[in-house]
Amino acid sequence: MYEHFYGLSGRPFQLTPDPDFYFESVSHKKALSYLGYGLSQGEGFIVITGEVGAGKSTMVAHLMQRIDPAQLTVARVVTSALDGEELIHVVAQSFGLAIEGHDKAGALGAIERFLQDEAREGRRCLLVVDECQNLDIEALEELRMLSNFQLGSHPLLQTLLLGQPEFRALVANHPELEQLRQRIIASHHLDALGTGELEAYVRHRMEQVGWQGNPAIDSNFFGALYTATDGIPRRVNQVMNRMLLLGAVEERREFTLEMLEAVITEMAGDTQHGAQNAPVREEARPAAPARVAPVPASMEIAKVRAMLAERDNRIAELERIVAEVARRPAAAGAPTDSKAIEAIEARLDEQEHSLRHVLTMLIEWFEDDSREAA
């Protein structure tokens, strides 16, 4: 949608991690240095933490692009609340191992044989575990036990742990994780973008899709954007997505503070509305929601085009009324018709409602499409 209006080759602020948009902030550069050092050691644990949306997954995706699969076999686990036995089976699956039944000993044996085979072929193995704050102590202990696998004196598995700040605190302080702490060879906490980095981040992502100054961005825009997002990349992406949608709908060629304020207000309203309509938790597990068949994209496009055409017709009609009212005083020397002005104001209110409706539909369509793609 907005890509066509602004002449962009793609969506620069998708919420799903994309290594093509990787931006190396000061903190990201340090994290990659620690990762590089840790990987060169070939053993133990590397721990990277950061706030939700700080860019951990994007950084790892960028790292994976630089790894030679002939030298390093990588498996990735994105955890939910797994216990130790469940985690072992998920790790086996992530390495492509089929385990019959739910036999933990069988899964461990299969993992060890796989790691030994890879080592004999000259490949090291890396396990990337994301969202580690969801793991319980038993599961973390199982990961430590996996690091014991060796072929002679050669360690067979290295593990990269990614988590939110609470995971950092857990690892540092929990008395049952002392052995795991002793095996951490590198760790780093990924900070948000600095005030001077946010503008470069936005411009970098825009330039990746061919941005050449359309839309122009107000010089005061980035400071206000930083205040609204705290420099968290995912929050920046959310706001900028809405800005591009709003700009395309209103046919704006420059992003201003007023537009940013409107977007922030609307997003806050969305959050409040979602909280008010959130389902009440019950003790029993709720039934899975029924899947609703998606509306074909062609139908959505037709709806949007129809509404935009309606908007254009309303604008043309308002312009005609304004011109007609403007001519009346000049021809008759009489004061402006108050009823005509009231009619214009009513039409303007109606037009504003219509535009809001179009914008809401565009946003819902875009976000549904993003979720489906993810």
> Can you give the residue ranges of every domain in the chain?
26-190, 195-269, 297-373
Q: What is the pLDDT of residue 331?
A: 47
At residue 361, does pLDDT exceed 90? no
Q: What is the pLDDT of residue 371?
A: 43
Mean pLDDT in residue range 225-245: 95
Q: What is the pLDDT of residue 292?
A: 31
The architecture of the domain spanning 26-190 is 3-Layer(aba) Sandwich (3.40)
pLDDT band for 294, please (50, 70, 90 cuts): very low
Write the pLDDT tens digit of every residue in 190-204.
999 998 899 999 999
At residue 296, does pLDDT exceed 80? no
Mean pLDDT in residue range 121-140: 93
Q: Between 145 and 294, where is the model more confident?
A: 145
pLDDT band for 370, please (50, 70, 90 cuts): very low
Mean pLDDT in residue range 346-352: 63
Quick one: fold of 195-269?
A: Helicase, Ruva Protein; domain 3 (1.10.8)
Q: Which residues pair with 127 in a beta bridge?
A: 75, 159
Closest CA to 350 of 322, 311, 320: 311
Mean pLDDT in residue range 233-254: 93
Q: What is the pLDDT of residue 356?
A: 60
pLDDT band for 348, please (50, 70, 90 cuts): low
Q: What is the pLDDT of residue 328?
A: 58
Mean residue pLDDT of the chain comes to 81
At residue 269, does pLDDT exceed 90? no
Write the pLDDT tens digit of every residue in 1-58.
788 899 999 999 988 888 899 999 999 999 999 988 988 888 999 999 999 999 998 9
Write the pLDDT tens digit of every residue in 312-335.
666 666 666 666 665 655 444 445
Write the pLDDT tens digit of every residue in 279-293.
443 333 333 333 333
